[in-house]
Structure formats: structure tokens, C-alpha cells
């Protein structure tokens, strides 16, 4: 962080750390259209994502800080595989994210800036079809009718990102996070409606700054809904929305006024490039933000799938 004679510099750093921590890269803001779509058994894929998030933070009005803004550029690489589990379609997906940028705010008439640069916590997501998603070979899949799908997801975020308990700002969170989720998808000709309900659950960070303080966070409940339309030759467009609530934190047994109750909307467009490659462009923005980040996010994902 840039040095300053501002007497509130330490308070700024603490607020920056709290703001960044309450909005995990993996938190409820994510919009995932068509995540319940079916695939033939044996499908595997790799992908790379480039994106940027810019905007401000909505903090407790009683805090001595204003005009908090951030600009983050992020990349992610990952891959997945579709397999049979007890006769049902199942999928495992792994993601490794990296972010860099800065966050700044006004305190005591001085502008303070904190840099961000490093690996965030990776994620592993396991999905299994509960109804309407039998394990199908490539030939069986081509002739199978489309209908209603019910599926369950479990996202696991281990504390493997970069974390330094003596640093006020980190991109890793030094705690486990789990997100159980259940959802449904229904196709109507070229239209697909899907939605899900889930919750992020967090263990405690017992090495929060300056290294001997425990940070606890309440669960964050999430709802998502998507409407997508498939064009000819494999391209599609989706209109997305998510709502999430909760996540109030305690630091050293001191409760914070940072409970989230936010909404986001977005749009996604995917187009095949070759028989095995595709590009997806996505944009989302906050439509209602009670606490936490109010970002505009844009990203592009390139994916290669095969058998």
C-alpha cells in the first residue's frame, strides 16, 4: 500500500481487507447459465477465461471512508470430465483463478490505494443428475429426447490461494468454503429455462490479520434463474439473474455491519468456432446492492471439448 501521513491509513487498510474478503471471487455473484445441460459420457473439456471487474463498494455509512472503488483483471484456467455415476450423468470441474488490480478509497481527505495481485483459492465442482439425466453414450445422446432435468452440485473451495496473515489484503481466504446447490432445467423447443438454489458455507479463518484473530462468516444463500435461446449451428444467448443474501462477519467476536442482500443481472452469448471449440462472452452488473461490491463484470471464455 502506498504510504501516507493520513491518520486513517490503517482504518482504510482494514476496510479494504474486509471489503475484498466479503466478496470472494467464488461467491454468490457468479452467473452460470445452462449449468444443468446434458453431455455424452466421456466428454472432456479445457477452458481459459479473461475478464475485468470495475466498480465501487457499498460499506456501512458509519465507517470513515468514502468513494471506495476497485478495478480487477482476472484470468482462470480449468478443465472438466463427464462420467457415469450409478447410471446418472456426473461431471467434475476444476478452476484455477488469478487476479490483479487495485482498490482505493477516500479517508481524511486523502486518496489511499492498495494493490491486489495473486492466485485466489481454486475451486472444484462436482455435479450429478438426479432425474432426467441418465448416463448416455455419444450415439445414445444424439437421439435422446430433451426434457426436465433435476441435478445437484457441490462446489468446494480449499484454502490454497495466496495468503499472508501479516498482510491486510489477500486474494486467498485461508478457510474452506462449500456450496451445495440443487437446480432444475426445462427445454421448450429452442428455449431453456433453468434455476437453482444453494448456499455458501464457510469455516473460520483463525489467522486473520494480524495473524491471531478469528474471522467468522455467516452462510450466503443464493438463487439463480436463466432464460436461454438456442440458435442454429450451436450458438445460444442467455439472460441471467441472481439474488444472494447473508454473509455477515465477526472479526475477533466483534460483529460487522456487512450483511449482503444483493441482486445481479447479466447476459451471455456463446458461439461455436470449430466443431470442438467455442467462445462465450458474458456481461453482468449489480441491479441492487445493499453491502459489498457493485461491479460491472465482462469476461470472455474459450473452450475446447472432445471425447
Helix (H/G/I), strand (E/B), else coil: 189: coil
- Rg of the chain over CA atoms, in angstroms? 20
The angle formed by the CA atoms of residues 203, 179 and 181, to the nearest 5 degrees, is 150
What is the spatial distance between Cα 150 and Cα 120, in angstroms, rounded to a whole number? 31
Residue 256: count other Cβ atoms within 10 Å of its Cβ. 18
Its domain, for residue 146, covers 9-306
Beta bridge partners of 12: none
What is the spatial distance between Cα 116 and Cα 301, in angstroms, rounded to a whole number? 22
Q: How many domains does the chain have?
A: 1
Query: Does residue 20 lie in a domain region?
Result: yes
The angle formed by the CA atoms of residues 3, 168 and 250, to the nearest 5 degrees, is 140
Mean pLDDT of the chain: 84
pLDDT value, residue 12: 46
- Contacts of 212 by beta carbon, 8 Å cutoff, 6+ apart: none
pLDDT value, residue 289: 66
H helix runs in 66-217, sequence order? 138-143
* Predicted confidence (pLDDT) per residue in 41-70, tens digit: 999 999 999 999 888 776 655 566 667 788
What is the spatial distance between Cα 280 and Cα 94, in angstroms, rounded to a whole number? 18
Beta bridge partners of 208: 213
Give the lowest-confidence range in 65-69, 116-120, 182-186, 262-266. Answer: 65-69
pLDDT at 153 over 70: yes
pLDDT band at residue 291 using 50, 70 and 90 as cut-offs: low
Residue 75 grid cell: 484470468
Instruction: Name the residue with higher pLDDT: 12 or 100.
Output: 100
pLDDT band at residue 80 using 50, 70 and 90 as cut-offs: very high
* Predicted confidence (pLDDT) per residue in 217-256, tens digit: 999 999 999 999 999 888 999 999 999 899 888 988 888 8
When pLDDT is averaged across residues 262-285 and rounded to a whole number, the result is 92
When pLDDT is averaged across residues 264-272 and rounded to a whole number, the result is 94
Query: Does residue 92 lie in a domain region?
Result: yes
* Predicted confidence (pLDDT) per residue in 116-148, tens digit: 788 989 999 999 999 999 999 988 888 888 889
Query: Does residue 3 lie in a domain region?
Result: no
pLDDT value, residue 147: 84
Question: What are residue 159's phi and psi, to 5 degrees?
Answer: -80, 70
Residue 151 grid cell: 441435478
Query: Does residue 220 lie in a domain region?
Result: yes
User: In CATH, what number is assigned to the domain containing residue 165?
Assistant: 2.40.128.130
Query: Does residue 185 lie in a domain region?
Result: yes
pLDDT at 258 over 70: yes
Query: Does residue 157 lie in a domain region?
Result: yes
User: Are the C-beta atoms of residues 111 and 83 closer than 8 Å to each other?
Assistant: no
pLDDT value, residue 59: 61
What is the spatial distance between Cα 166 and Cα 169, in angstroms, rounded to a whole number? 9
Residue 60: count other Cβ atoms within 10 Å of its Cβ. 12
Helix (H/G/I), strand (E/B), else coil: 51: strand
What is the spatial distance between Cα 19 and Cα 169, in angstroms, rounded to a whole number? 10
Query: Does residue 1 lie in a domain region?
Result: no
Amino acid at each position: 500500500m502506498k504510504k501516507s501521513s493520513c491518520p486513517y491509513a490503517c482504518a482504510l487498510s482494514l476496510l479494504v481487507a474486509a471489503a475484498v474478503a466479503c466478496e470472494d471471487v467464488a461467491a454468490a455473484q457468479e452467473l452460470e447459465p445452462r449449468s444443468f445441460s446434458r453431455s455424452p459420457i466421456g466428454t472432456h473439456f479445457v477452458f481459459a477465461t479473461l475478464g475485468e471487474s470495475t466498480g465501487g463498494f457499498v460499506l456501512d455509512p458509519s465507517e470513515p471512508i468514502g468513494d471506495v472503488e476497485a478495478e480487477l483483471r482476472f484470468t482462470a484456467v480449468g478443465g472438466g470430465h463427464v462420467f457415469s455415476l450409478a447410471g446418472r450423468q456426473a461431471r467434475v470441474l476444476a478452476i484455477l483463478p488469478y487476479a490483479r488490480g487495485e482498490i482505493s478509497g477516500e479517508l481524511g481527505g486523502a486518496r489511499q490505494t492498495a494493490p491486489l495481485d495473486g492466485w485466489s483459492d481454486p475451486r472444484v465442482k462436482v455435479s450429478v443428475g438426479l432425474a432426467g439425466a441418465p448416463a448416455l453414450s455419444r450415439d445414445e445422446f444424439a437421439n435422446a429426447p430433451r426434457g426436465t432435468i433435476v441435478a445437484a452440485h457441490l462446489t468446494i473451495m480449499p484454502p490454497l490461494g495466496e495468503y499472508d496473515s501479516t498482510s491486510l489484503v489477500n486474494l486467498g481466504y485461508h478457510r474452506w468454503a462449500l456450496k451445495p446447490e440443487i437446480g432444475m432445467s426445462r427445454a421448450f423447443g429452442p428455449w431453456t429455462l433453468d434455476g437453482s438454489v444453494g448456499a455458501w458455507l464457510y469455516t473460520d479463518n483463525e489467522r486473520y490479520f494480524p495473524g491471531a484473530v478469528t474471522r467468522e462468516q455467516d452462510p450466503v444463500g443464493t438463487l439463480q434463474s436463466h432464460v436461454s435461446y438456442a440458435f442454429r449451428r450451436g450458438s445460444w444467448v442467455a439472460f441471467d439473474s441472481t439474488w444472494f443474501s447473508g454473509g455477515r462477519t465477526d472479526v475477533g467476536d466483534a460483529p460487522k455491519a456487512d450483511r449482503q442482500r444483493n441482486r445481479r443481472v447479466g447476459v451471455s452469448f456463446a458461439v461455436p468456432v470449430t466443431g470442438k471449440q467455442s467462445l462465450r462472452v458474458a456481461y453482468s452488473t449489480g441491479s441492487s446492492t445493499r453491502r459489498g461490491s457493485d461491479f460491472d463484470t465482462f469476461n470472455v471464455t474459450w473452450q475446447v471439448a472432445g471425447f
